[in-house]
Amino acid sequence: MGKTKEDRVKQLKKKRIWPSIVGFALIVIIFFMVVVFGIAAVILEVTNRKLTEGYENSTKVANFFLEDDGSLLLNPENKVLLYMDVMDEIEGISVVDKNGDKIWSDNGQYPDLGNALRGDLVFAGNKAFVDIIMEEDENVIYFDDSGSLRLNEALFYQLDFLHVLRDNNKAVLEFKIWFLIPTGETTVCVLNNLTIYGYDVQMMLLIMALLVVLVVIFSLWYIISFISVIVNQGRTSKIIYMDMLTGGENWLYFTKKSTKLIKKKSGKRNYAVVHLRMQKYRSFCTCFGINKGEELIERIYGAVKKKIRKNEVMAHYEKADFGMLLYYTEELELASRLEEMAQMLDETFLNIKLKFRFGVCEVEQGSTDVEEMYNNAVLARELHGDDKEQRIAFFNIEMNKQRIWERKVEDDMERALINKEFQVYLQPKFSTGEEKLGGAEALVRWIHPTEGFVPPNKFIPIFEKNGFILKLDDFMIEEVAKQQAKWIAEGWNVVPISVNVSRAHFTREDLAEHICEIVDRYQVPHDVIELELTESAFFDDKQVLLSTVQKLRNAGFLVSMDDFGAGYSSLNSLKELSIDVLKIDADFFRGTESLERGMLIVSEVINLAKKLNMKIVAEGIESREQVDFLTEQECDLIQGYYYAKPMPLAEYEKTYKVL
């Protein structure tokens, strides 16, 4: 998996949870703050109101001690006691002079003045009071040095919310406090027993309760949303890691999980990355349809998945390819298990002839690149060959050398094309009977600056796989057209030269126009160039192939079918495809056990081709007996080592120049 894709997946998963966690934490904090500060606000508000009322009542009582001129009233007991009877909150009154000396008290109680007469003011709500002195230390309300009202924790313990809500006429909190009222030369001290009843705080507590309920409701909603986010993230992860074809884990999951398992590997347990392929999946889809092909992939996945153990992984890669990470102790054990798996697949699909092949790359110490190991397993299967009976191929050092060579080829191919390291070799074709030059085939050879002569089988398959073959085909067509133009200008009696056109070219609908454009640059007659296509091209887009061949023939090019008989439906392709030349595959002329049968088939193919007005070319001819047989069968042209090997243009010119 690419780094950019992996980073985007991580970001997709990261962005889901942490904001919800932070949000939930904030909700919890806000909830407690609302409760704590709400209760504190209720108590402060009620307490300040009581203090204000106490101050106002104490001021009224103090006025009873004054004469009209402001002097102290003598014998005020009767008036004050009468007023005290009416005002239940007042429990005692005393008078002191400016020095704090006791003058009078209704019950013998005096406040502990201390520094109370220094004249500082304290505040309760918006009211300013002369120093307020608490009656006892355990009282729950007091003033600090700054004159600010503070609450003791005991207040919260004494306040019974349920009690308040059940009976609002009962006292829930009581505290005694002296109010000092200056009256000129004297100070009147009034002891108040301030009582907070249920009805004093009930409404505010109900509002607080409503706020708490709202906070709880919102918190519950948020918790549900948070849980929903977690659930959705789990679903998102399943979607991210799900293969849409099989319904199981996809390749992203395979690489991530496999990497974790490999890193945790311990003891004698070894891991191997296994590549599983069902052969000829495209042919199956051609016969039964894409939907049936996808159903088959799903069934294969389900069957193999049952054989996967704990701490192993399997995933669908693409088409009919699967990847597995399996553990084992010995290589023989792993091979035996894969054979059993292949046997199980054969038995599962008895009604369909399917071929399964395995490539295996054993995980070496320190290796964690799952993608690279899977590619090694694929390479092992490809190099092992699909036609061998042995269905399991293990990756080794030699295969790694092959991969290194492929990388070198891919690194050098563009430069080689620009520097004309690819050269045209020509292999002559001779007519039977007269045995004179009747044509030639253009073959590419690579003269590498450091590797020297590179055989075609070492680079053509690589080009066919990576698509560079398209550029090479264009290069060969252009070089042949250029050479034919040169020889015509020199007065040569030129013969048709055939050029291979790979099956990959027949995916483009404008191929005929493309080839015409290349050849017409050199003003060469189209009939001196023969275009060879392989029978395998018939299995791609058949309609495009038929249309392209017809266009090329209409444009004057000769079209031939190379390697006839090597495919699986040769006669069917002859029925639908109109061509000019049929090249019989060289395998018909090789071997001794089946040579007689091969010659019989060649004889019938020649007769059939003549009835279809096609010329016949037999390639791979290496003996006089073969030449005599083909001459007897009236084959048109012979190509092979018996007459000549492929040769450079200079040698061809020197040997076969005909004016």
DSSP 595-647: HHHHHHHHHHHHHHHHHTT-EEEEES--SHHHHHHHHHTT-SEEESTTT---E
Domain 415-656 classified CATH 3.20.20.450?
yes
Q: How far is CA 248 from CA 238, 309, 375, 384, 554, in A?
A: 9, 15, 21, 29, 52
More confident residue, 630 or 587: 630
| Every domain of the chain and the residues it spans | 18-212, 251-395, 415-656
Q: How far is CA 376 from CA 169, 371, 397, 404, 411, in A?
A: 88, 9, 10, 11, 19
Q: How far apart are CA 403 and CA 374, in angstroms?
A: 13
Tell if the pTM clears 0.75, that is, is over it: no
Q: Which long-range contacts (CB under 8 A, 24 or more apart) does 591-595 make?
A: none
Instruction: Note the pLDDT of residue 67.
Output: 61
pLDDT at 12 over 70: no
Q: What is the mean pLDDT of residues 621-648?
A: 90
* Band (158; pLDDT cuts 50, 70, 90): very low
More confident residue, 514 or 589: 514
pLDDT at 21 over 50: yes
Contact assessment for residue 45 and residue 53, using Cβ atoms and an 8 Å cutoff: no
Q: Do domains 251-395 and 415-656 have the same CATH topology?
A: no
Q: How far is CA 41 from CA 52, 95, 125, 139, 207, in A?
A: 16, 35, 12, 19, 12
pLDDT at 167 over 80: no
Q: Which CATH number fits domain 251-395: 3.50.50.60, 3.40.50.10420, 3.40.50.920, 3.30.70.270?
A: 3.30.70.270
Q: How far apart are CA 442 and CA 498, in angstroms?
A: 6
The pLDDT tens digits of the residues spanning 525-559 come to 999 999 998 766 665 667 788 888 899 999 999 99
pLDDT at 468 over 90: yes
Q: Which of 504, 375, 479 is nearest to 421 (CA)?
A: 479
Q: What is the mean pLDDT of residues 415-437?
A: 92
* Band (234; pLDDT cuts 50, 70, 90): low
Instruction: Note the pLDDT of residue 2.
Output: 46
Q: 532: which residues sit within 8 A by CB, 6+ positions away? A: 441, 498, 499, 500, 501, 560, 561, 562, 583
Q: How far apart are CA 275 and CA 322, in angstroms?
A: 6
Residue 100's φ and ψ, nearest 5 degrees, are: 90, 10
The pLDDT tens digits of the residues spanning 237-283 come to 667 778 888 888 899 889 999 999 998 877 678 999 999 999 888 87
Q: How far apart are CA 249 and CA 368, in angstroms?
A: 20
pLDDT at 15 over 60: no
pLDDT at 377 over 60: yes
pLDDT at 417 over 90: yes
Instruction: Note the pLDDT of residue 272.
Output: 94
Instruction: Note the pLDDT of residue 126.
Output: 36
Q: What is the mean pLDDT of residues 227-238?
A: 65
Token couple for 107: 């019950």
Which residues on neighbouring strands pair with residue 618, listed in sequence order?
Answer: 584, 638
Contact assessment for residue 578 and residue 592, using Cβ atoms and an 8 Å cutoff: no
Q: What is the mean pLDDT of residues 501-530?
A: 90
Instruction: Note the pLDDT of residue 459.
Output: 93
Alpha-carbon dihedral 167, 168, 170, 176, rounded to 10 degrees? 150
